Structure 1
């Protein structure tokens, strides 16, 4: 395998190469980098490194199918108790399945997205997650860049129905979820992460997507079903 590169180096080529390999670029950005790859040998080498680096971890994971009653249990915990306790209980469940769900989501989406160990010289690694689809057909891959405090999303699946929106949630430990706004199906979506969330954006936090009324949840918590969820890991 090639020698590892330092993420976030001069020109941001490592981040660009990783985003290209993960499929997080808009069509125009992807076309531009593919043209650049024909002449920029250093960038091409970084792309080959990330492709090999992600693929090497696939062999360590087997596809894991969730139990048939998983969705029912989650729904019961989410909506069968008071607001405060239901998120606590749900997070315990999500922690228990976090390792398997990332691998299953990656397999389902067809992307080689797994997290290599960050280099010791990299104090602020980027973070990635592939959310596991729990209901419907929404597929979400997210890459967080701590240098710009921005979250890049690739959201696949069917658009939300008329009068409804998908809403993204930030979840840390046993705290209540925090809305990051509504999202739509598309590639290369960029969200600015506010300072309060950026200060706590690290390995182990969870991102979730719920189905809400148009404009988002009317309260400070999801009101509709949780469609996808995943924990983030460093790259």
Structure 2
């Protein structure tokens, strides 16, 4: 689990912060200079010396930063914690995120129990381990096909355009039971760069009906009976 900033209503009593426990926004280099996927050096320093510390965010607020896995596990079970971005004191990472989350209906990832648990139970069926493992051969074949096409194409190749961008579309269709001839092209699924704001896009057209008993239909049925 990566380090995360957590909003806590009340004091953390199981461990006392050390030193001044205020890191000014981790404003040093945000990424490791040698590897973009490695934890930032400043984060690792806090992990070792001040695993429970405060950070100063863009709006001047100073939420807690919890960098150790065991502490994160303990706090995630604490009902004083909330993932609801509309609650006072929630540590928004930027003004843009705060504005976007305030204007849109939150997903179940931004809900507290019991709403989170209710919706999670509704959607877990198609994602059980046995079903996902059964998809492994099909996903491997899709991946192999895209890699073969990439290797047979121009050199050097762009693995993002040749593999990372087109692969999710057929995998999602396989997961939800969407027929291959109904699958949208990758650019329809991701028409803008990942960094572009997509929450203001117009509503997509209604998809064609799916034949038979598919995971997508099973997810839809409980909603229709409510």
Into which bin does the TM-score normalised by the smaller protein fall? Answer: under 0.3
> Which one has more relative contact order, counting CA pairs under 8 Å at least 6 apart?
1
TM-score scaled by structure 2?
A: 0.26
Structure with bigger gyration radius? 2
Pick the structure with more helix per residue.
2
User: Which is strand-richer, 1 or 2?
Assistant: 1
TM-score of the aligned structures, taking structure 1 as reference length: 0.25
